[in-house]
Amino acid sequence: MMWIVIIIASFFELGFTVCMKLSDGMKIKKYVVGTVVCTAISIGLLSLATKTLPLGAAYAVWTGLGTVFNVAFGILVFKEPGSAKKLFFMGLVLAGVVALRLTA
C-alpha cells in the first residue's frame, strides 16, 4: 500500500515541477500556488510512506519516478527532444526504481 502512496507522491512531484516551470520564475500566482500545494502534498505523502518503508528506498523511488515522469511529460507535452540516449537512460532509472522496490 505504501508503495502506491510513493507513486502518487511522485505524480505530485511532477505537478510541482510543471507548475514551477509554468510560473515564469514564480511570477504567475496560480502556478506559484500550484507549486506550493503540490510540493506540500508530495512531501507529505513521502513522509507518510517512510513511516513503514525504508527511507533510502522510498526516497530513491520517489525521486526516480519523479524524474521519469518529468522527462516523459517534457517530451510529450513541452515537445522537448526525446533522443534514443535520453530514453535509454530513462529506462535505466526506471529499472533502478523497480530493482529498489523489489529489494526493499
Each of the 104 residues of the chain gets a pLDDT tens digit; together they read 999 999 999 999 999 999 999 999 999 999 999 999 999 999 999 999 999 999 999 999 999 999 999 999 999 999 999 999 999 999 999 999 999 888 87
pLDDT of residue 62: 96
Q: What does the alpha-carbon distance between residue 43 and residue 10 come to, in Å, rounded to a whole number?
A: 9
524524474: which residue's cell? 67
Q: What does the alpha-carbon distance between residue 99 and residue 86 come to, in Å, rounded to a whole number?
A: 20
pLDDT of residue 44: 98
Model confidence, pTM: 0.91
pLDDT of residue 104: 76
DSSP state at residue 79? -
